[in-house]
Chains A and B, each alone.
Chain A
Amino acid sequence: MEQKIEASLHGEAIIKNMPGMKIPATAKLRKPSKEGYVIVAPSEEKGNHHVIDMLPGVEIYEDEMGRPRWMVNTVETQVRCLHQDRHDTRTLPPGTWELGGIQQEYDFFAEAKRNVAD
């Protein structure tokens, strides 16, 4: 039976556990930011971004658009929200991870308006 990829969900952020995955050659290592974290799921309205702490031993790789897409960490790190009351902080063990996925939502409000317009 096909082994399913394991995913951790932090709010709408999807973090996939990808043991042994080879980071693409086109990926670029991101420099640590002054904030000390990388945003994996932005929150435009309230600024309550989902972030992963870029500790020593945590490497974040960007895709060609400069988006954080992969993480290789040899130490534990945390995924958290800037305002922690919405979602608990979670620890990510050492490993290789795929970032950037966002849970999808279907907008029936737009569908209803579109159908009425049609």
Chain B
Amino acid sequence: MITELLPEQEALFPVYVQKWTDIGKNTDRLDPEETRAIVHDFQEIVLLRAKTPVVIVENPIEAWIACNYAVMGHAAEELPGLLKEYFEAEEPPIQVASPVFPYQEGSFSTAIFSYYDYILTELKLDLGEELRKRYEAWERTSKLGFIYPLDNVCIVSQKPLEIHTDEEQRLHRDGGPALTYAGYGDFQIFSLHGTRVERYLAETPGEQLDLAYYHTLKNADQKAEFVRKYGVERMLGLGKKIDSFENYPDEEWWQRSEYELWDMACLFENVPYAPHLKMLNQTTKIWHVEGVSPECRSIPQAINFRLGGENMKIVDIA
């Protein structure tokens, strides 16, 4: 029995993370023949059911509407036309049940598959032939979008047209939707650093954001994303000044930078004290505001923090 991993085995984690992140972010259009083959294998080998017709739709919204029509008894070949009717009608022609998450998530399941892939490949777990075959049939579904294997039809969604992430692989796009699907329903997700936000906050350039919008937000993460984009420096009026360069007339560069220490805790949920150092860029004459350790109660302490805890004399700033 394996009770711990060797360092060289642990060192391979990033390889699998990268491999499956890439698969999860893949936006290739589904090949109909390949999709049918993957679905049929999944139905027969994993679900132990008979193959059914496969209908590929553009996005999860279409997939759900198609599911509703299928459950009402409509045949697979009718579904594309019914979807067109549904979305192009002035009023929805049918009442649609509240959406249910799909039975299989396709490319959104890559976190699970990365785990199994690592264990099977690196730790060489032996599943036996039968179970291995089932696992591989299941793993192949990661090439697809959402999958609803109903009794008489399997509805498969295309993968997104675009997926945007930040450096930590969180859904993120400043200036547009972070995730977009084709097709009906205008399926777009707006997200900043993994926080779902309204279109306004994602699309509006920071300098054009209205502070009044900040006060309408209730969600702490959304408020944080607003502050990040709007700029703490523009929100100083909401904070409290703690210390000023005016108290240190002998410090030439503190004077030139017009350092001020502000408590901006009002902008951060569950943060009792959030000191920020305001400073003037000597070249551009733009104000910058940057957080310093909560242990800082004065400008000297803030400067000391910024310089890595070393007590230095600033002789030049550019």
Contacts and interface: CB of A to CB of B under 8 A. Distances in A.
Interface string B286-318: 000011111000000000011110111111111
A118 to B, nearest CB: 8
A88 to B, nearest CB: 4
Q: Is the contact region of chain A dominated by helix, strand, or loop, or is it mixed?
A: mixed
Contacts of B317: 8-9
Interface string A100-118: 0101111111011101100
A65 to B, nearest CB: 17
B216 interface: no
A85 interface: yes
Interface stretch (B32-40, B84-92, B120-128, B262-270): B262-270
Contacts, number: 101
Interface string A11-46: 100101100000000000000000000000000000
Interface stretch (B72-80, B180-188, B220-228): B220-228
A7 B314 contact: yes
Contacts of B270: 112, 115-116
The bracket for how many chain A residues form the interface is 20 to 34
B97 interface: no
A56 B282 CA distance: 29
B282 A14 contact: no
A105 B313 contact: no
A14 B307 contact: yes
Contacts of A88: 282-283, 318
Contacts of A113: 221, 224
Contacts of B281: 86-87
A112 B224 contact: yes
B5 interface: no
The winner among A90, A108, A112 for most chain B CB atoms within 10 A is A108
A87 B286 CA distance: 11
Interface in B126-165: none
B284 interface: yes
A6 B312 contact: yes
B313 A7 contact: yes
A49 interface: no
Given A104-B306, A105-B290, A112-B268, A87 B283 contact: yes
A6 B312 CA distance: 6
Most buried by B among A14, A16, A106: A106
Contacts of B316: 8-9, 90
Contacts of B306: 103-105
A109 B224 contact: yes
A16 B312 contact: yes
A47 B284 CA distance: 18
A89 B318 contact: yes
B46 interface: no
B271 interface: yes
Contact of A108 (B291, B308, B314): B291
Given A14-B307, A103-B307, A108 B318 contact: no
A8 to B, nearest CB: 4
Given A4-B313, A7-B313, A101-B307, A112 B318 contact: no
A90 B317 CA distance: 9
Interface of A: 2, 4-11, 14, 16-17, 79, 85-90, 101, 103-109, 111-113, 115-116
Given A6-B314, A7-B313, A87-B282, 11 more contacts: A2-B311, A5-B311, A7-B312, A7-B315, A9-B316, A104-B293, A105-B306, A106-B292, A106-B293, A106-B294, A113-B224
6 closest Cβ pairs, A-B complex: A115-B270, A106-B291, A112-B268, A8-B316, A4-B313, A7-B312
